[in-house]
Amino acid sequence: MGAAASRQMTPAEIQARAVCGARLPDGRKCGCRPVENPQTGFPRNGRCAAHGGWSTGPRTAEGLARAVTAMFEARGLTPRK
C-alpha cells in the first residue's frame, strides 16, 4: 500500500479518467465506466459501480446521525436516548 494508492484524486484528475482503473485480482485494471452523479453529470470519484463509485456512507458525525435517525423512522423504531 503506497502513498499514491491512498491519495485522494483531485476533481480534475477524476474528470480526466475515462475508466475505473481499479486493480483486479488478476493484475489487470478495471475498464468499466465510472459512476456519474446524475445531478452534476460528473463522475463521483472515478470508480465504477463495482469498485466504490456510489456513496461510501456518511462523512460527518451529523450525517451519520441523520442516516441512523432515518433508518429508525423507516423501521418504525424509537432511537435509544
* DSSP one-letter code for 27: S
Q: Which is nearer to Zn ion, 33 or 66 (CB)?
A: 33
Q: Which is nearer to Zn ion, 26 or 62 (CB)?
A: 26
Identity of the residue, 45 or 51, whose beta carbon is nearer to Zn ion in the bound complex: 51
- The nearest distance, CB 37 to Zn ion, in angstroms, is 17
Query: CB 30: neighbour CB atoms within 10 A?
Result: 16
Residues that bind Zn ion (CB under 5 A): 20, 22, 30, 32, 48, 51
- List C-alpha distances in Å: 75 to 6, 57, 64, 78, 80: 36, 19, 17, 9, 14
Residue 55 CA to residue 44 CA, distance in Å, equals 9
Cβ at position 56, least distance to Zn ion in Å: 14
State the nearest-atom distance from the C-beta of 22 to Zn ion, in Å: 4
